[in-house]
Amino acid sequence: MSEGTPAEDGPSPSLVGVEIVAAGGSQWRGTAGLVLVTLLWGTTFVVIRAAVGEAGGAAGQIDAGAQGAAGEALAPSALLALRFGIASLVFAPFLRRGWRLWRGGLELSFWLWVGYAAQTVGLQTTTASSSAFITSLSAILVPLFLRAAGRSVGPVVWLAASLAFVGVGLLSWDGGSPVIGDLWTLGTALAYAIYLIRVERMTWDHDALALTGVQMVGVFALSGIWFGVDRPAVGEIPWVELAYLGVVCSAAVVWLQMKAQRLISAARAAVIFTLEPVWAALFAFALLGERLAWMGWVGALMVIGATLLGQLPDRKKTSEAVVSRG
């Protein structure tokens, strides 16, 4: 199946025995795409803080810093409904018919929404840096879930995931006492780990633009239901920030992720996503003049090293990238 002609309603080709990361050039293209995703996510904290002047910490996966800053002005349900309403409009022209497309896209949108919703709620009581640390658990959870499902995960991936998790801890952990928001954020890590695994499979079945469009619509619908139940007061709406979150950090990055995860396994992708708090800290350092302690620099280097390590091939050819199709 070529990338331009994904299966929509016909039978899916079997990927059993196919090593997604076997082709070096394709793997590095996928890596570059996911690194760009983390870079764009890393800008959100700086953009929001510069616009609304809110304090916070380094961003975590799914824009922890941005959610924390914008969340001061908008309730989580309103923030997500408006954000993904904008994203849905962007991708509306690419929507297609097809039961398999909508079934798969709506499943992905559920896990994506759970991750965003849990993190926005968690950031009401926890710090952005703690959120980044807890969310980085997805780097460990993805290979754990894959192993539990009977898929082999190579030692290189385990080492890279562990190194990345420790690195994010050094970069982001603020040493604060546990709060209820940390438990909510753990839900984000769980949801996002499942999301990465399911994306790995579904990107081979559907066109990336169409799959992204269905996800944006699905998250918008779930957020709209949450908003209708929550019925929060809505004050001044930061439209510029919401437009950036919706167009760039929702619609564009999810589309990039759909394209990139065709070329790289979920376990390796989870390691790459730990780069987001690194980018957030670097942007805050360069553009906002925030200082990073020596331990933070060590953590950032560990995450970068883990990302590079995660690209090395395992000796076992049937590694974590083998997708079991049932």
Mean of per-residue pLDDT scores for the chain: 79
Please state which of the ranges 77-86, 98-107, 133-142, 173-182 shows the lowest mean pLDDT: 173-182
Region 302-308 average pLDDT: 88
Q: Are 207 and 97 in contact (CB under 8 A)?
A: no
Distance CA 116, CA 110 (A): 10
Which two three-digit tokens encode residue 112?
């994506």
**Integer Cα distance of 229 and 38 in angstroms:** 32
CA distance 215 to 126: 28
- Residue 86: what pLDDT? 96
User: What is the reported pLDDT for 24?
Assistant: 53
- CA–CA gap between residue 245 and residue 85 (Å, rounded): 11
Q: What is the pLDDT of residue 187?
A: 93
Domains of the chain by residue range = 24-152+174-291
23, pLDDT greater than 80? no
In the predicted structure, residue 108 carries a pLDDT above the cut 90: yes
Least confident of 33-37, 58-62, 85-89, 299-303: 58-62
CA 188 to chain centre: 10
When pLDDT is cut at 50, 70 and 90, the band that residue 93 belongs to is very high
Does position 25 have pLDDT exceeding 80, yes or no?
Answer: no
Q: What band does 323 get if pLDDT is binned at 50, 70 and 90?
A: very low
pLDDT at 8 over 90: no
**pLDDT on residue 252:** 94
Which DSSP category does 177 fall into? P
Q: How far apart are CA 227 and CA 75, in angstroms?
A: 9
Tell me: pLDDT of 6 over 50: no
pLDDT exceeds 50 at position 257: yes
Instruction: Give which of 279, 239, 257, 246 is closest to 46, Cα–Cα.
Output: 279
The whole-angstrom distance between residue 221's C-alpha and the CA centroid of its chain comes to 19
Prediction pTM value: 0.80
Q: Give 12 or 210, the one with higher predicted confidence.
A: 210
How far does the chain reach from its first CA to its final CA, in angstroms? 18
List pLDDT tens digits, range 161-196: 999 889 888 887 666 677 888 899 899 999 999 999
Cα separation values, 161 from 155, 170, 176, 304, 309, Å: 10, 14, 24, 11, 9
Pull the structure tokens for residue 49. 């803080």
Yes or no: say if 295 and 127 are a contact pair by the CB < 8 Å rule.
no
Determine the Cα–Cα distance for residues 183 and 134; give it in Å rounded to an integer. Answer: 9
Instruction: At 311, list the tokens.
Output: 């690209």
Q: What band does 68 get if pLDDT is binned at 50, 70 and 90?
A: very low
Residue 156 three-state SS: helix
Both structure tokens of 141: 């959870």
Range scoring the smallest mean pLDDT among 58-67, 104-113, 226-235: 58-67
